[in-house]
Amino acid sequence: MSDFSQTDIKFLAGVGPKKAEILNKEINVFSVEDLLYYFPYKYIDRSRIYFVHEVDGNMPYIQLKGRITAFETFGEGRKKRLVGHFTDGTGFIDLVWFQGEKFITDKYKVNLPYIIFGKPTLFGDRFNIAHPDIDPYISEDERPAGLMPYYNTTEKMKNHYLNSKAIQKIMAAAFSSVVKNLSETLPERVIQQARLMGLKEAMRNIHFPENAALLREAQHRLKFEELFYIQLNILKYMAERKSKLKGFVFTKVGDYLNRFYEENLPFPLTGAQKRIIKEIRQDMATGEQMNRLLQGDVGSGKTLVALMLMLIALDNGFQAAMMAPTEILATQHYQTVTESLKGLNINVELLTGSTRKAKREKIHNALLTGDLHILIGTHALIEDTVRFSNLGLVVIDEQHRFGVAQRAKLWTKNVNPPHILVMTATPIPRTLAMTVYGDLDVSVIDELPPGRKPIQTIHQYDKKRGALYESIRKQLREGRQVYIVYPLIEESEKLDLKNLEEGFEHIKEIFPEYTVCKVHGKMKPKEKDAEMQRFVANEAQIMVATTVIEVGVNVPNASVMVIESAQRFGLSQLHQLRGRVGRGADQSYCILVTPYELSADTRKRIDIMVESNDGFEIAEADLKLRGPGDLEGTQQSGIPFNLRIANLVRDGEIMQYAREVAQKILDEDPLMERPDNLLLKKQLKKLGGNRYNWGLIS
């Protein structure tokens, strides 16, 4: 028998080619099965019928039974509206339509019994319901019990009579023909172990819930399934990569590392730095290729860790590379690294977009002969012309700026892929880490170098400039330096730059006794660098900048970060910016400047910043406020963030459990060859090709 679930949606009763085309285009529904996986976004309990005299303004919606006594039209042109006077004998309420007058008066008759449903609002001294749902009255026994599903629909769909109710009807038709042949998509064993509802029952209760408890069970089962296959896919990919790719074996600890440790180490390592270096060193000696994410809050000392790991590569006869997202940051890394390696006879070069041709060619050659040991740079490193003689380790700093595809490109630099260490200061909430970076092993630096005082964060209204400048001046007098950051959002770029220029001039006037420098993304790299250098060298005490300084820049003497129009930044971005100060032993301050009028969400964001210095806490809060789709890096990740039913914020626990179940299956049967695992393989293949775009995961 043919599989009805694969039938084209256009053959379904009540659909046809026209509507099918709309469903294809608007919600990606092509087959009957696609339709079944189009889940409601909410449910409303329609079991209770109220009386008109019970209506009050706080009800989100209400259901009434009664009749329309008369239709009337009011107003002219665009203000025209149709009103149906509705009563159930306990009072009157007005039903209001702003369009479709003819359709309504043709369809609904005066004095017939109807059930109406909608949101009541008080208008003058009478309640009305705009564009209510109207159904012919049917007795309680005939009415479907329980919860009424609501489906998301687009404007186009509504114009073609495909509103939520219509979807419900089509769903009912699809369901009755397909349900008996619907085959289970999870192995029996998994269903037992995780105590899940079967697929048929789950599908029935997600679209036609009998009661709230069964609905919850159905939702749980379908969320689990969705997250389980995502995790199975990631874990399978990881396992395959590990078995396919040989990794370089770094076993030696040689002269470079030892000499650096004994002669050049600028300060004792923190406990966390030591632990991480040991952990990663072991990982690079197993014979498997390493793919690791190193998370550590801003200022936790990741650069030093990276440097020491690169020295291990050198000790084993390999080259190392370090890639940063901006020219400023790459330059700073280059300076830190060359400074730290003084006298050790290690060749380090910097390669960025603005490296001159002659220099560039010299670098290319030295890479191939092996004379160049460490290459530091920007995206320029992944250009095809850059070839190494034996690249052993690549460190990618601030990963969230690099797409997964770019990460993958590094592998082609050698016959064998180098070990890859991705470093990020953006604390990634657990649930996201399990998906976006789900194919990486994770290390966390959970300790800051000693003597750091927590940064004090202050919210200041922009009307109180006098007080703001006073506190800045106080710090400047003590010999500290100050950042003042302006937003730069692409849509309003011109205006933003104007704000920055005006701010720059204004600050120069307010602080004539100090030198002010300026950095923004529209400057030439050379100019930017020169300005940056003036600040690093303390020739300038105040830096006015856009967010180009957000990532990585390290000036320990800077103790004040002023963020203008802080309401326009996301939480993670604010935290990153704040991390530019508090890098020395002095008390540092972050001042968030906003207008007095703020939306509730924004006020919450600012409050979180004032209360918390913990990057992970902030990232979780950010995820909750904004949703995962907005977080940096998620767009290019290839992970389906428009999940059908699961929610990365709320369903972290289910995801964690699904990952464990998936891992166990792969541990026992890596290639999923056992008969009771064949279903998994089949299902993965199907999902890979169709519902989700998984191909992008590196």
Contacting ligand ADP (CB under 6 A), which of 31, 273, 291, 457? 273
Which residues make beta-bridge pairs with 294?
423, 443
Amino acid at position 251, single letter: T
Contacting ligand ADP (CB under 6 A), which of 270, 414, 426, 475? 270
Work out what residue 273 binds among ligand ADP, Mg ion, none; the CB cut-off runs from 5 to 8 Å by kind. Answer: ligand ADP
Are β-strands 516-519 and 81-87 bridged in parallel, bridged antiparallel, or unpaired? unpaired
Whole-angstrom distance, CA of residue 113 vs CA of residue 548: 66
Q: Give yes or no for a contact between 464 and 522, defined as CB atoms under 8 angstroms apart.
A: no
**Would you say 84 or 552 has its CB closer to ligand ADP?**
552
Stretch that binds ligand ADP, among 29-37, 255-263, 268-276, 403-411 (CB under 6 A): 268-276
Residue recorded with tokens 């114009």: 159
Give the nearest distance from C-beta 596 to ligand ADP in angstroms: 34
Amino acid at position 28, single letter: N
Contacting ligand ADP (CB under 6 A), which of 284, 381, 425, 551? 425
Roughly what angle, to the nearest 10 degrees, separates helices 302-315 and 271-283? Answer: 40
Whole-angstrom distance, CA of residue 47 vs CA of residue 39: 21
The helix (run of H) or strand (run of E) holding residue 542 is: strand 542-545
Token couple for 561: 């970060």
Stretch that binds ligand ADP, among 171-179, 255-263, 541-549, 552-560 (CB under 6 A): 552-560
Which residues make beta-bridge pairs with 560?
482, 589
C-alpha distances in angstroms, 560 versus 315, 471, 516, 543, 680?
A: 41, 9, 14, 10, 55
Instruction: Give residue number: closest CB to ligand ADP.
Output: 301
**Would you say 218 or 618 has its CB closer to Mg ion?**
618
**Would you say 133 or 446 has its CB closer to Mg ion?**
446
Contacting ligand ADP (CB under 6 A), which of 132, 149, 209, 301? 301
Give the nearest distance from C-beta 570 to Mg ion in angstroms: 19
Instruction: Give residue number: closest CB to Mg ion.
Output: 552
> Can residue 298 be called a binding residue for ligand ADP (CB under 6 A)?
yes
**Would you say 120 or 615 has its CB closer to ligand ADP?**
615
> Can residue 556 be called a binding residue for ligand ADP (CB under 6 A)?
yes
Contacting ligand ADP (CB under 6 A), which of 118, 146, 299, 582? 299
**Would you say 552 or 582 has its CB closer to Mg ion?**
552
Binding mask 530-569 for Mg ion (x = CB under 5 A): ----------------------x-----------------
Contacting ligand ADP (CB under 6 A), which of 35, 304, 536, 618? 304
Q: How many residues bind ligand ADP (CB under 6 A)?
A: 18
Work out what residue 128 binds among ligand ADP, Mg ion, none; the CB cut-off runs from 5 to 8 Å by kind. Answer: none
**Would you say 207 or 580 has its CB closer to Mg ion?**
580
> Can residue 596 be called a binding residue for ligand ADP (CB under 6 A)?
no
Residue recorded with tokens 């800077």: 558
C-alpha distances in angstroms, 422 versus 213, 403, 639, 647?
A: 44, 12, 18, 26
Token couple for 22: 């709309």
The DSSP line for 247-306 is: --------HHHHHIIIII--SPPPHHHHHHHHHHHHHTTSSBPPEEEEEE-TTS-HHHHH
Work out what residue 301 binds among Mg ion, ligand ADP, none; the CB cut-off runs from 5 to 8 Å by kind. Answer: ligand ADP
Stretch that binds ligand ADP, among 294-302, 340-348, 557-565, 673-681 (CB under 6 A): 294-302
> Can residue 615 be called a binding residue for Mg ion (CB under 5 A)?
no
Stretch that binds ligand ADP, among 28-36, 463-471, 548-556, 657-665 (CB under 6 A): 548-556
Give the nearest distance from C-beta 273 to ligand ADP in angstroms: 6
The residue among 37, 35, 71, 68 whose CA lies nearest residue 52 is 68
Whole-angstrom distance, CA of residue 375 vs CA of residue 352: 10
> Can residue 417 be called a binding residue for Mg ion (CB under 5 A)?
no
Q: How many residues bind Mg ion (CB under 5 A)?
A: 1
Which residues touch 399 (CB under 8 Å, ≥6 apart)? 293, 407, 422, 423, 424, 437, 633
Are β-strands 92-97 and 126-130 bridged in parallel, bridged antiparallel, or unpaired? parallel
Residues 500-529 close enough to bind ligand ADP by CB under 6 A? none
> Can residue 333 be called a binding residue for ligand ADP (CB under 6 A)?
no
> Can residue 300 be called a binding residue for ligand ADP (CB under 6 A)?
yes
Report DSSP state, residue 427.
Answer: P
Number of C-beta neighbours around residue 56 at 10 A: 10
Which pairs from 669-677 meet CB under 8 Å and 24+ separation?
670/239, 670/243, 672/236, 676/187, 676/188, 676/189, 677/187
Contacting ligand ADP (CB under 6 A), which of 83, 104, 134, 269? 269
Are β-strands 126-130 and 133-136 bridged in parallel, bridged antiparallel, or unpaired? unpaired
Can you point out the beta strands (E) in 81-218? 81-87, 92-97, 114-118, 120-123, 126-130, 133-136, 147-150
Work out what residue 583 binds among ligand ADP, Mg ion, none; the CB cut-off runs from 5 to 8 Å by kind. Answer: ligand ADP
3-state class of 690 per DSSP?
coil
Give the nearest distance from C-beta 594 to ligand ADP in angstroms: 26
**Would you say 83 or 444 has its CB closer to ligand ADP?**
444
3-state class of 351 per DSSP?
strand
Contacting ligand ADP (CB under 6 A), which of 583, 620, 639, 687? 583
Which residues touch 49 (CB under 8 Å, ≥6 apart)? 63, 64, 65, 115
Work out what residue 270 binds among Mg ion, ligand ADP, none; the CB cut-off runs from 5 to 8 Å by kind. Answer: ligand ADP
> Can residue 613 be called a binding residue for ligand ADP (CB under 6 A)?
no
Stretch that binds ligand ADP, among 184-192, 291-299, 338-346, 521-529 (CB under 6 A): 291-299
Work out what residue 299 binds among Mg ion, ligand ADP, none; the CB cut-off runs from 5 to 8 Å by kind. Answer: ligand ADP
> Can residue 554 be called a binding residue for ligand ADP (CB under 6 A)?
yes
Give the binding site for ligand ADP (CB under 6 A).
267, 269-270, 273, 296, 298-304, 425, 449, 552, 554, 556, 583
Give the binding site for Mg ion (CB under 5 A).
552
